[in-house]
Structure 1
Amino acid sequence: MTDLPTLQVPRPPAPPPEAADALAALSEHAPAARVWEACGAAGLIGGLYDERGTVAPRRLAALLSAVDARGDNGATLSVLVQAASALPVLVTDAPGEGPVREALDGVRSGRQTLALAATDRDAAGSDLAGLTTAVDIGPDELVLRGGKRWITTACAADWFLVLARHRPGRHFTSFTWVLVPSGAPGVRVTPAETDLLPGSATGHVEFTDVRLAPGHVVGRPGRGMAAFARHMGTERLAGAQWALALTGRVLADTKERLTLRTVDGTPLWQNAAVRQRYATCLVQVRQLQALCDQLGDPIARQRDLAAAALLKSAVGLTVDPVLTACAQLQGADGLARDGAQRIRAEAAVFGIGGGVTELVLDAVADHADQILGELSP
């Protein structure tokens, strides 16, 4: 019988050996704060951004690859949101001293954790302009009131980076970032009622007349939405990088299982129908990898939101069908605790967090002429 061709599983950049060793020393279900601390100690966080808040794509990919290799999707989600959504806001807007600088130094070193509190209690996740969490900005103090839901790392945070409105209306200049210590009077955190992604420390946060010094405003008042939009591409790039690491890991595990399991003495891996379905997954992930490689620099350095929307959409259209196929190919083994079926359920976050796939596709359509132009030879 002719040897069947080898199909290579896409793999993300390997982390430095010392980083892999630091994370390997953690227990299997180490809490989110401990994982973040290990990343900081291993030097995976400090060099992610330059002074302008521009991310180094390969460093970000190495961080997410190293954390994903542990197999705790919740912990990876916690690291991603801190590294790609919250941290760049502090990097860009931290002054030379004060609480924002203190938080930046602590978070970047891994000694402290930072939760991005944007999704509001009283508005749909896709309607940030409708949020009701509000901050009164006075000459001597800030007063914060409201609530945030489904906040990653909420139950393990030292700081909350809170998007709040400082004046009525839906205009983008009506919103401001406020940095809130998790132990401040009036802050109450409740764990989210879900069995999925337990390592993410996700929870809901209430702010009841939280009083802070004026130095807890991050950046200039009214620049909250602009700062959020400025770094949106970084979050979407990070999501694609994690998607590559996760699907690559599950595909490799699936191939190994198909090689070991036999029917009438023949490995399932040699079944033509199985191979074709598996190969379809490889093609889909390779396409995502090619997009990620092509669009990484434009997203990071040029703040290309059209490229970010295209990449985010590709993630939403790739991850679920690939993991669904892997879960089915694994058969009953996929139903095991922490098996492929659970991974598939947890990976639903790729189609929700950072923008629902359908809404992001609508944004891609807005840039149809640009994308069509780029297809021309």
Structure 2
Amino acid sequence: MPEVLEAVDSEAGPGLPGPAESGSGAELWARLGSEGALRGIYRDGAPEHGVVPGRLRDLIARAEAAEGTGPLLSVCVQAATVLPLLAEAGRRGPAAAEVARRMLHGRSVVALAATDSGPGSDLTALSTHAEETAGGTVLHGTKRWITNAAHADLLLVLARRRPGPHFTNFTWYLVPADDPGVRVEAAPGPYFAGSGTGHLHLAGVPVLGGGPVGGAGRGLALFARHIAVERLAGGMWAAAACRRALADTRDRLAARGLWERPAIRQRLAAALVRTRQLEALVEALGPAVAAEHDHTAAALVKASAGETADHVLDVCAHLCGADGFAHAGMQHRRAEAALFGIAGGSTETVLAAVADQAEQVLSRPLGAAS
């Protein structure tokens, strides 16, 4: 493991994970790390201590205004899930700790390879598996729609270690992205440029460090713990995207002399109310998610983000009229906003989780930890 990481450094040069595509998530990650912006979003500058909600929100809002959707997607997955997960796992093994340290400085890009071929987000049905050989543990399988797949130097892969759906049958492993057994297939389509999203095909890929990340059988437990913060980050991002879309639409309507029409004003105002409601929910529940990994609070934020973004961007795209179909126009932004209702668990999935905890949600004040 140390020699692999040294090779990454020697090829990359100081502070960079290698040549990065201009405007890519890898480029943004390297810049945020070298500037200390990544360290600033965590309590005490330590990812294993969790995020500070207000700082994470501010970083996402700034990046949403200045960067494309793809680069921000690349950063959010790593900052909210990968880096904290590796930092926590680093307490059990030096390999994960070293990768987390390099990530924090923007010197390594790690793709979170959880979503599998076939079952998709049903992680207990994944077929990617670990095999024990005379030379050590190797991985076989296919991972689809993996952010950072195209420009990562390391892959954090969720794999099955034995048959059956029991939650202890799954483990995280780190593997080198440039191993001959790794084949990366770029994801088709015009969306999320710069995110490096693609499909991964693993054929006998050796595990770095010779063993699991965070302990054997703890894959789903670690994922469940850290996906809560990713859902919070998604809510922050959705709120920022809605706010900017509304501001851009209002300016466009005013420039065309349409802002004073009552029907238009009311429709945009209703979308603004929904946006403010999402912002208030994120503000109220953020501390519980960040400090306690409150899954019900995270599900509430995730469900609200998906439904709010879908509604608000639909309103904005409609009010922009034919101009919405321009290159990178509001219709394109509307299509990309569908991400908030899918990534990190579909809206239907998280609403089911909310329903399971309905009695508990109704019995406690907003913002109280579960």
CA–CA distance in 2 between the matches of 1:72 and 1:332?
22
CA–CA distance in 2 between the matches of 1:28 and 1:210?
26
CA–CA distance in 1 between the matches of 2:67 and 2:102?
26
Show the 5 A alignment for 1:94-133: 94-95=90-91, 98-125=94-121, 127-133=122-128
Which SS does the other structure have where 1:156 is aligned? coil
CA–CA distance in 1 between the matches of 2:69 and 2:164?
37
Counterpart pick for 1:42 among 32, 35, 41: 35
User: Structure 2 counterpart of 1:258, which letter?
Assistant: L
For the pair 1:290 / 2:280, whether they are aligned, the reply is yes
CA–CA distance in 2 between the matches of 1:153 and 1:343?
20
Question: How far apart are residue 141 of structure 1 and its match?
Answer: 1.9
CA–CA distance in 2 between the matches of 1:51 and 1:155?
24
CA–CA distance in 2 between the matches of 1:352 and 1:223?
25
Q: Is the 8 A contact 1:98 1:215 kept in 2?
A: no
Gaps of 5+ in 2: 1-19
Give the structure 2 partner of residue 169 of structure 1. Answer: 164
CA–CA distance in 1 between the matches of 2:155 and 2:36?
23
Which SS does the other structure have where 1:30 is aligned? coil
For the pair 1:56 / 2:56, whether they are aligned, the reply is no
Give the structure 1 partner of residue 23 of structure 2. Answer: 30
CA–CA distance in 2 between the matches of 1:140 and 1:232?
33
CA–CA distance in 2 between the matches of 1:64 and 1:29?
20
The percent of aligned pairs where both chains have the same amino acid is 47
Q: Is the 8 A contact 1:145 1:210 kept in 2?
A: yes
Once the two structures are overlaid, the 10-residue window that deviates more, 339-348 or 205-214, is 205-214
Which SS does the other structure have where 1:145 is aligned? strand
User: Structure 2 counterpart of 1:357, which letter?
Assistant: T
Gaps of 5+ in 1: 1-26, 262-266
Give the structure 2 partner of residue 256 of structure 1. Answer: 251
TM-score with structure 2 setting the length: 0.89
For the pair 1:200 / 2:190, whether they are aligned, the reply is no
Question: How far apart are residue 212 of structure 1 and its match?
Answer: 3.0
Q: Is the 8 A contact 1:129 1:172 kept in 2?
A: yes
Q: Is the 8 A contact 1:65 1:245 kept in 2?
A: yes
TM-score with structure 1 setting the length: 0.87
Show the 5 A alignment for 1:129-278: 129-137=124-132, 141-261=136-256, 267-278=257-268
For the pair 1:364 / 2:357, whether they are aligned, the reply is no
Question: How far apart are residue 122 of structure 1 and its match?
Answer: 2.9
Number of residue-to-residue matches in the alignment: 344
For the pair 1:315 / 2:308, whether they are aligned, the reply is no
CA–CA distance in 2 between the matches of 1:283 and 1:224?
39
Question: How far apart are residue 124 of structure 1 and its match?
Answer: 2.7
Give the structure 2 partner of residue 82 of structure 1. Answer: 78
Give the structure 2 partner of residue 341 of structure 1. Answer: 331
Which SS does the other structure have where 2:259 is aligned? helix
Q: Is the 8 A contact 1:237 1:296 kept in 2?
A: yes
Question: How far apart are residue 98 of structure 1 and its match?
Answer: 4.4
Give the structure 2 partner of residue 15 of structure 1. Answer: none
Q: Is the 8 A contact 1:137 1:166 kept in 2?
A: no
Q: RMSD of aligned C-alpha atoms?
A: 1.9
CA–CA distance in 1 between the matches of 2:60 and 2:282?
14
Question: How far apart are residue 341 of structure 1 and its match?
Answer: 0.3
